[in-house]
């Protein structure tokens, strides 16, 4: 019997508000960043913005459906979901279906619809691992029973994603999987050993491809090849520096005029900093931090192991990918070419992330363990309620 002092969360409103805020900010930024490309491609400065709005409309429907469906459904469907996602990934390598863009084959075209199966695979893998680790229980610490099979799963993932090639996406997917593995109760010795293997693997992957070596060298010295391999990062840094404290103003970006590659997609944070300044960039960072705090709070208070791991995986995905993108734009890590969650233009990423957010919000309404007194205290202290900092 539940204690009279304990209340059930209906939905995590700070998390919901933060996600919607990112979606709205993304739409506003894309409306500005995509005008030049839209005019060149379709003769309509709002072409890509209209396409993004359509994706958002579908995305909100998917988010609502995922929010209404009980999260336990995904545990039952986990084996079928991962098989379907693997099938979609394999389609990339089928001639006439998978197509190349920018030197990589990462998209599938079926019936006039183009999409990136890798985005769906991230969510499928999170769902599958949450169910798989739950089934393993205390045996998750065993080398032969869990660790080696887990490494085999990462190996299959590496084969399908690195062949595209897409090292950045694989690294993010592997990090998400490892966070879930750690939260599931993995042996620390196994985690440390896997970390060492991961570092060695990254070094090997960098050394085996000239363009990866070039990116790494540019990361070490961004000014060494400003018109070649270092062009994008130098233009991104120029955009961020030009924005100053308050920015040039909405719609006033100069880099979007074909100076900064992938302005509406991978480089959207640089456009945000250029137009909205340091304050705008910090606001975006703060919102992602709130998503992290609230998402992991949902995981901490989740009613069972599966929902805890599922919430951990989805939150880790959003946060890890966001900071990888932002750090790359700031030249704190090498360029990776991954989109900024909810802000970058791209229907595949937008739709899957919004659906995943619906699942996370569904889990949040099942969380238990907060007293009425602590809730009233957090609501009196708006900062603690919003961010989770300073709350009991």
Report the percentage of the chain scoring pLDDT > 70: 88
Per-residue pLDDT tens over the stretch 172-184: 999 999 999 999 8
CA dist., res. 276 & res. 272, Å (int): 6
Residue listed under structure tokens 């966001």:
322
Per mean pLDDT, which range of 12-26, 198-212, 320-334 is the poorest? 198-212
With beta carbons less than 8 A apart as the criterion, state whether 315 and 360 touch: yes
Per mean pLDDT, which range of 65-74, 160-169, 327-336 is the poorest? 160-169
Per-residue pLDDT tens over the stretch 283-292: 999 999 999 9
Q: At what angle are helices 167-183 and 148-162 packed, to 10 degrees?
A: 160
Per-residue pLDDT tens over the stretch 104-117: 667 777 766 778 88
Residue with more model confidence, 288 or 258: 288
User: Where exactly are the structural domains of the chain?
Assistant: 8-370
Predicted pLDDT at 4 = 42
Predicted pLDDT at 392 = 43
Residue with more model confidence, 59 or 154: 59
Residue listed under structure tokens 């062949």:
163
Which has the closest alpha carbon to 335: 244, 236, 239? Answer: 236
In DSSP notation, 84-123 reads: HHHHHHHHTTSBTTEEEETTEEEEEEETTEEE-HHHHHHH
Per-residue pLDDT tens over the stretch 349-361: 999 999 999 999 9
8: left (phi over 0), alpha (psi -120 to 50) or beta: beta
Per-residue pLDDT tens over the stretch 54-92: 999 999 999 999 999 999 999 999 999 999 999 888 888
> How many H-runs (helices) and E-runs (strands) does the chain carry?
15, 5
Residue with more model confidence, 17 or 101: 17
Predicted pLDDT at 3 = 43
Question: Sorting pLDDT into bands at 50, 70 and 90, what band is 376?
Answer: low
Q: Distances in Å between the alpha carbon of 58 and those of 150, 209, 352?
A: 34, 38, 11
Which has the closest alpha carbon to 24: 284, 245, 267? Answer: 284
Helix (H, G, I), strand (E, B) or coil at 10: coil
Predicted pLDDT at 368 = 65
CA dist., res. 196 & res. 111, Å (int): 44
Token pair recorded at residue 178: 């490892």
Residue with more model confidence, 3 or 185: 185
Question: Sorting pLDDT into bands at 50, 70 and 90, what band is 377?
Answer: low
Q: What is the mean pLDDT of residues 307-321?
A: 96
With 90 as the cut, is the pLDDT of residue 384 above it? Answer: no
Per-residue pLDDT tens over the stretch 4-16: 444 455 788 999 9
Token pair recorded at residue 71: 């999260």
What is the overall mean pLDDT for the chain? 84
Predicted pLDDT at 166 = 78
Which own/partner contact pairs does 250-255 have at CB distance under 8 Å and 24+ positions apart?
Answer: 250/28, 250/32, 250/275, 250/276, 251/32, 251/275, 253/32, 253/33
With beta carbons less than 8 A apart as the criterion, state whether 284 and 257 touch: no
Residue listed under structure tokens 């993995």:
186
Token pair recorded at residue 355: 């659906």
Predicted pLDDT at 162 = 82
Q: What is the DSSP letter of 140?
A: G
Token pair recorded at residue 195: 């970390």
Which has the closest alpha carbon to 291: 340, 227, 349, 218? Answer: 340
Which has the closest alpha carbon to 387: 288, 316, 311, 305? Answer: 288
CA dist., res. 59 & res. 170, Å (int): 24
Question: Sorting pLDDT into bands at 50, 70 and 90, what band is 221?
Answer: confident
Question: Sorting pLDDT into bands at 50, 70 and 90, what band is 40?
Answer: confident
Predicted pLDDT at 287 = 96
Question: Sorting pLDDT into bands at 50, 70 and 90, what band is 371?
Answer: very low
Predicted pLDDT at 387 = 52
Q: What share of the chain is helix, strand, coil (3-state, %, to 5)?
A: 70, 5, 25
Chain centre to alpha carbon of residue 253: 25
For 155, residues 6+ apart whose C-beta sits below 8 A from its C-beta are: none
Predicted pLDDT at 28 = 94
């Amino acid at each position: 019997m539940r204690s009279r002092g304990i209340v059930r969360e209906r939905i995590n409103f700070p998390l919901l508000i933060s996600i919607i805020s990112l979606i709205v900010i993304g739409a506003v930024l894309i409306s500005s960043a995509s005008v030049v490309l839209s005019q060149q491609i379709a003769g309509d400065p709002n072409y890509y913005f209209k396409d993004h709005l359509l994706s958002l409309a579908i995305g909100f429907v998917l988010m609502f459906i995922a929010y209404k469906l009980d999260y336990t459904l995904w545990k039952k469907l986990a084996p079928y979901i991962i098989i379907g996602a693997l099938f979609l990934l394999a389609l990339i390598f089928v001639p006439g279906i998978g197509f190349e863009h920018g030197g990589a084959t990462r998209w599938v075209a079926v019936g006039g619809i183009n999409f990136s199966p890798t985005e769906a695979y991230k969510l499928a893998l999170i769902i599958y691992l949450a169910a798989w680790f739950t089934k393993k229980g205390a045996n998750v610490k065993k080398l032969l029973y869990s660790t080696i099979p887990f490494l085999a799963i990462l190996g299959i993932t590496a084969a399908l994603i690195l062949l595209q090639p897409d090292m950045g996406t694989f690294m993010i997917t592997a990090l998400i999987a490892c966070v879930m593995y750690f939260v599931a109760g993995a042996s620390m010795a196994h985690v440390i050993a896997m970390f060492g293997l991961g570092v060695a693997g990254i070094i090997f992957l960098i050394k085996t491809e000239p363009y990866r070596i070039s990116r790494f060298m540019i990361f070490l010295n961004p000014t060494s090849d400003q018109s070649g391999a270092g062009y994008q990062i130098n233009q991104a840094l120029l955009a961020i520096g030009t924005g100053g404290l308050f920015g040039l103003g909405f719609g006033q970006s100069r880099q979007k005029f074909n100076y900064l590659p992938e302005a509406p997609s991978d480089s959207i944070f640089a456009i945000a900093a250029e137009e909205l300044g340091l304050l705008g960039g910090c606001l975006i960072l703060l919102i992602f931090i709130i998503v992290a705090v609230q998402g992991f709070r949902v995981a901490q208070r989740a009613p069972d192991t599966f929902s805890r791991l599922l919430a951990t995986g989805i939150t880790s995905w959003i946060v890890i990918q966001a900071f990888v993108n932002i750090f790359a734009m700031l030249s704190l890590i090498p360029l990776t070419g991954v989109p900024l969650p909810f802000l970058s233009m791209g229907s595949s990423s937008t739709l899957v992330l919004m659906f995943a957010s619906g699942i996370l919000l569904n889990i949040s309404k099942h969380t238990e363990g907060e007293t009425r007194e602590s809730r009233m205290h957090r609501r009196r202290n708006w900062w603690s309620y919003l961010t989770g900092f300073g709350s009991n």
